[in-house]
Structure 1
Amino acid sequence: MLWFVLRRLAAGVVLIVAIAVLAFFLLYATGGDVGRRILGPTASADTVAQKNTQLGLDKPALSQFADWASGAVRGDFGRSWFTGQSVSDAVTGRLAVTLSLVIGATVLTAVVAVVLGVLAARRGGWVDTAVQFLSVLGFAVPGFLVAILLVLVFAINLDLVDPTGYTRFADSPSGWLSSILLPVIALSIASIVGVAQQVRGSMLDTLRLDYVRTLRSRGLSERRVVYGHVLRNAAGPALSILGVQFVGLLGGAVLVEQIFAIPGIGQTAVSATVGGDVPLVLGVVIATAVLVVLLNLAVDLLQGWLNPKVRRA
């Protein structure tokens, strides 16, 4: 197991380095006149040139990348060109906000999707039909429309929660929960139906296997057969798609944060990209890549725990 973890971590490091190189040179190719964007159109050419020199933009691309990489390996990702704030501080603070949304949406997705998938597989009939209909509806309706509808109904018409803004957990746990409730639901809708479909299909396939009939013939209760054996064996494919959905939720958080005015990593990524703030964009990219690598490792470990065949492989 230790060797497996080390191999996956080594592969993750290689992936992160490749992403960093690709992101840097793509940003370099589309950077434009950064000094002019920082100082504005009224700044003189000499002042703009001095600013570009101060930022190291007069150096060749390889030299700029070497300077950034030498700091990054020490944990120093530089400072924002526009605000002067440390990239590490800017990303860490905003990432915690986004993770509260994404993790909340992932937990909600897992719970609701498992319930719907198991009910659809066990009951069939109208329950299965309803789950199938909700799946199609969830994929068809854009997430931003769901978010706007939730704001109109629960925040504006019913006045149950605030329509926008974010409250830190340390300031008020109840206020924090109220501020992330609608964004989490908006993020979860499409993920729930996708995972529920996977759980349903895996449950139906597993219920047809011979060992399930053997368990029933031994007198085990249906509840123990379904939840103690069938669901555990069917959870592997659902867990894989849940991991994919987590990555998708990181991307979906960008739009949701804009709608609900939440100061997460999505807003930071958009503003930094539009402004050409290369150090901040790279910080966001690296943080996201590290999250994805760690998530994939966690999913692999959970797969091994659920299925001994995976551990042996």
Structure 2
Amino acid sequence: MLRFVLRRVAIGVILVWIVVTLIFLALHMVPGDPAALLLSGDSGGAPSPEALEHVRESLGLNQPLLTQYGDYLAGLVQLDLGSSFRDGSSVSAYIGSRLPNTMQLVLGAALIAAVVGVPLGALAARKGGVVDSIVSFLTTLGVAVPVYVVGTVFVLVFALKLNLVSAGGFIEFQVDPMGNIERAILPTVAISLSFTSVIARMTRSSVLETMGQDWVKTARSVGLSRSHVFGKHVVRNSLNPVATSFGLEIGTLIGSTVLIERVFNWPGLGTLLVDSVLQRDYPVVQGIVIVVSILFILINILVDISYALLDPRVRQ
């Protein structure tokens, strides 16, 4: 088991290096000069060549691309994501202040998907008929409707019409725990709908496939009750494909927060990423994408480990 985990971690490290390299090269091929953008924003006019050269030198942009890449890798090894082009603030501090807010929504949505999606899909597969049709319709609707539409409808119905919760905004958990949770309800549920629908549909398909296996019929023939076979054996043996979908959908979920954070005025990584792209703040963009990529890779490593726990044959 230890060798299996170490092999997955080693693959994850290689993937992180590839992602870091691709992000660095992609951002430096984007048209436009960050130094010119910064000076134009400050003065409103065309900057002088001397001023441009001074800013490029202070930001390290006058160095060869390979040198910039080497310096950036050395900084990453020391957990230093660099400094913002806009105000010189630490990128790590920027991300550290926003990451918990985004992860609050992501983890909440993932919990809803696991608690609701898996039982819902298993119920649809076992009952069939009308129940299956209703669940299939609802999950299809959940996947088809864009997340920003769901968020807007939630604000209109639950906040403005029914006045049950706040329409948006953010309160620090340390300042007002209940206020923080109350404002997180709508965005969390909004981004969880599509995720829950995907998990429910995958669970349904996997359970139906498992129920058709010969060993299920054998278990029933030796006297085990249908409920025992279904709950103890069928559902558990159907979870590997669901775990795969769960890990992959986490990445989509993190991307969905960009729109939801805008709709609900939630200060997370998504809004910071959009603002940084518009300002050509390369270090902040790099830092955010790298952190999100590492999270995605880490989650999928955990999914691989859960594979081995659910099915010992995977360890081989």
Match of 1:195 in 2: 199
Question: How many residue pairs are counted as aligned between the two chains?
Answer: 312
- Does the 8 Å contact 1:203/1:231 carry over to 2? yes
**1:191 CA displacement:** 1.5
Match of 2:26 in 1: 26
5+ residue gaps, structure 2, are: none
Deviations 1:60-113 (A, max 9, x none): 211111222221211111111113221111112211111111111111011111
Question: Could you tell me which amino acid in structure 1 is paired with residue 174 of structure 2?
Answer: A
Question: Secondary structure of the equivalent of 1:144?
Answer: helix
Q: Distance in 2 between matches of 1:308 and 1:68?
A: 40
Match of 1:69 in 2: 73
Match of 1:224 in 2: 228
**1:140 CA displacement:** 2.2
- The normalised TM-score by structure 1 is 0.95
Match of 2:252 in 1: 248
Match of 1:36 in 2: 36
**1:301 CA displacement:** 0.9
Q: Distance in 1 between matches of 2:171 and 2:220?
A: 51
Question: Could you tell me which amino acid in structure 1 is paired with residue 284 of structure 2?
Answer: L
Q: Distance in 1 between matches of 2:176 and 2:219?
A: 49
**1:155 CA displacement:** 0.9
Q: Distance in 1 between matches of 2:122 and 2:157?
A: 30
- Does the 8 Å contact 1:31/1:276 carry over to 2? no
Moved over 6 A (4+): none
**1:31 CA displacement:** 5.2
Q: Distance in 1 between matches of 2:217 and 2:245?
A: 28
Moved more, 172-181 or 246-255: 172-181
The within-5 A match list for 1:1-313 is 1-30=1-30, 32-39=32-39, 40=41, 41-42=44-45, 44-45=47-48, 46-311=50-315, 313=316
Q: Distance in 1 between matches of 2:227 and 2:28?
A: 59
**1:242 CA displacement:** 1.1
> What is the identity percentage for the equivalent residue pairs of Structure 1 and Structure 2?
40
Cα separation, partners in 2 of 1:223 and 1:167, compared to 1, 3 Å: farther
Q: Distance in 2 between matches of 1:76 and 1:139?
A: 38
Cα separation, partners in 2 of 1:31 and 1:272, compared to 1, 3 Å: farther
Q: Distance in 1 between matches of 2:177 and 2:78?
A: 35
Question: Could you tell me which amino acid in structure 1 is paired with residue 289 of structure 2?
Answer: V
- The normalised TM-score by structure 2 is 0.94
Deviations 1:155-197 (A, max 9, x none): 1111111111122322222222211111111111112121111
What's the C-alpha RMSD, in Å, of the aligned pairs? 1.5
**1:43 CA displacement:** 6.2
Question: Could you tell me which amino acid in structure 1 is paired with residue 79 of structure 2?
Answer: G
Q: Distance in 2 between matches of 1:206 and 1:47?
A: 68
Q: Distance in 2 between matches of 1:119 and 1:11?
A: 37
5+ residue gaps, structure 1, are: none
**1:123 CA displacement:** 1.0
Q: Distance in 2 between matches of 1:207 and 1:28?
A: 52
Moved more, 291-300 or 63-72: 63-72
Question: Secondary structure of the equivalent of 2:266?
Answer: coil
Question: Could you tell me which amino acid in structure 1 is paired with residue 207 of structure 2?
Answer: M
**1:213 CA displacement:** 2.3
Q: Distance in 1 between matches of 2:7 and 2:213?
A: 34
